[in-house]
Amino acid sequence: MKTPACYIRSMQRIIALFDIDGTLLRAGGAGRRAVELALSEVLDELDEDVSLHSVEFAGRTDPWIVRAALMQYGVAADDDLIDDVLRRYVGHLPRELERASAFEVLPGVLSLLSELSNRDDLVLGLGTGNTETAAYAKLERGGLDSFFGFGGFGSDHAERPELLRTALHRGLERTGAQMEDARVVVIGDTPHDVAAARAIGAHCVAVSTGGYEASTLQAAGASLVVSDLRASAVRSAFDRGTPE
Ligand SMILES: [Mg+2]
């Protein structure tokens, strides 16, 4: 039988973009503590202990969190000050991560990432509000850093849909695929992840390991909600051509 000489069937590429906190791991309060230490250095003239328990962290980007924290202390947050706090934050983070006895990689994460990383039709990326440095510090603590070669980060953009768009473009560059040949799957744990995924036209797997109820994630518009990443249904989200 004669084989067509110049016939190459385009293969659908899957770009998986994982959130970190509450999705892949729990940092055991290390992030919050490192932000508090950074802020206490910048705000030391206030002469008070910095506590950020009224600032919502889940699903937010690092620059958003720092801006909200500065506003809580009545400080006008310009970009230079936010960058200064973030630099101090990533300086404190490794030590706080080491000290965080409650740090944990969430159930099913290691086997899912191991499985997906062996596929040649899929690239593993990040879509996280962490700055790039903070993201890799957390992943390294959990032994997960080598799975991820690219992503969109809080250091790229303070708004989650925009950092996901950045991650998507980087994923397309890595695969050489066109947008129409890509299936984009965002995996996150908050309604912010779901909203951002929808904003870029991605499928969204929401996992309720971050504290949000399954019903809340469903109502936000997740394509699939699972209790943790051991769920077999998660694998189907990475099948090529799976309808929404
Ligand atoms: Mg999260």
pLDDT mean over 9-30: 90
Residue type, 45: E
Number of residues that this document lists for the chain:
244
Percent of the chain with pLDDT over 70: 91
* Per-residue confidence (pLDDT) for residue 76, from 0 to 100: 83
118 and 213 inside one domain: yes
159 and 231 inside one domain: yes
Residue 218: partners with Cβ closer than 8 Å, 6 or more residues away: 206, 225
Q: Determine if residue 118 is left, alpha or beta; phi over 0 gives left, psi from -120 to 50 gives alpha, anything else beta.
A: alpha
Q: What is the mean pLDDT of the chain?
A: 89
Q: Pick from 44, 76, 99: which residue ends a domain?
A: 99
CA of residue 18 to ligand 1 center, whole Å:
9
Q: What's the structural domain count of the chain?
A: 2
73 and 137 inside one domain: no
Look at residue 168 and give its three-state secondary structure.
Answer: helix
Q: Pick from 99, 114, 146: which residue ends a domain?
A: 99
Whether 18 maps to a domain, the answer reads yes
* Per-residue confidence (pLDDT) for residue 181, from 0 to 100: 85
- Cβ proximity of 89 and 34 under 8 Å: yes
> Residue 93 corresponds to which tokens in the numbers above?
């983070």
Give the tens place of pLDDT for each residue, 117-158: 999 899 999 999 999 999 999 999 999 999 999 999 999 999
* Per-residue confidence (pLDDT) for residue 48, from 0 to 100: 59
Give the tens place of pLDDT for each residue, 75-85: 888 899 999 99
Q: Is the pLDDT of residue 103 over 50?
A: yes
74 and 165 inside one domain: no
CA of residue 151 to ligand 1 center, whole Å:
15
Beta-sheet strand order (sheet of 203-207) = 151-152, 122-127, 13-18, 182-188, 203-207, 224-226
Q: Is the pLDDT of residue 160 over 70?
A: yes
Q: Is the pLDDT of residue 49 over 80?
A: no
Residue 234: exposed, middle, or buried by beta-carbon count in 10 A (0-12, 13-18, 19+)?
buried
CA of residue 128 to ligand 1 center, whole Å:
7
Phi–psi pair at 205, nearest 5 degrees: -95, 120
CA of residue 179 to ligand 1 center, whole Å:
26
CATH number of residue 166's parent domain: 3.40.50.1000
CA of residue 44 to ligand 1 center, whole Å:
30
pTM: 0.90
CA of residue 51 to ligand 1 center, whole Å:
21
CA of residue 30 to ligand 1 center, whole Å:
14
Q: Is the pLDDT of residue 176 over 90?
A: no
51 and 151 inside one domain: no
**What is d(CA 62, CA 3) in angstroms, rounded to the nearest whole number?**
54
CA of residue 215 to ligand 1 center, whole Å:
17
* Per-residue confidence (pLDDT) for residue 9, from 0 to 100: 44
The number of C-alpha atoms within 13 Å of 166 and in the hemisphere containing its C-beta is 19
CATH number of residue 95's parent domain: 1.10.150
23 and 129 inside one domain: yes
Whether 161 maps to a domain, the answer reads yes
CA of residue 57 to ligand 1 center, whole Å:
9
- Name the residue with higher pLDDT: 220 or 3: 220
CA of residue 73 to ligand 1 center, whole Å:
25
* Per-residue confidence (pLDDT) for residue 193, from 0 to 100: 97
Whether 244 maps to a domain, the answer reads no
Instruction: Tell me the residue range of the domain where 67 lies.
Output: 30-99
Buried residues in 177-190 as b, exposed as e (16+ CB within 10 A): beeeebbbbbbbbb
47 and 146 inside one domain: no
What confidence tier does 47 reach under pLDDT thresholds 50, 70, 90?
low
151 and 61 inside one domain: no
Q: Is the pLDDT of residue 240 over 90?
A: no
What confidence tier does 3 reach under pLDDT thresholds 50, 70, 90?
very low
Q: Is the pLDDT of residue 4 over 50?
A: no
Look at residue 151 and give its three-state secondary structure.
Answer: strand
168 and 51 inside one domain: no
CA of residue 11 to ligand 1 center, whole Å:
31
* Per-residue confidence (pLDDT) for residue 179, from 0 to 100: 84
93 and 209 inside one domain: no
Q: Is the pLDDT of residue 45 over 60?
A: no
Residue 54: partners with Cβ closer than 8 Å, 6 or more residues away: 72
179 and 211 inside one domain: yes
**What is d(CA 113, CA 206) in angstroms, rounded to the nearest whole number?**
16
Longest alpha-carbon distance in the chain? 82
Whether 8 maps to a domain, the answer reads no
Q: Is the pLDDT of residue 43 over 90?
A: no
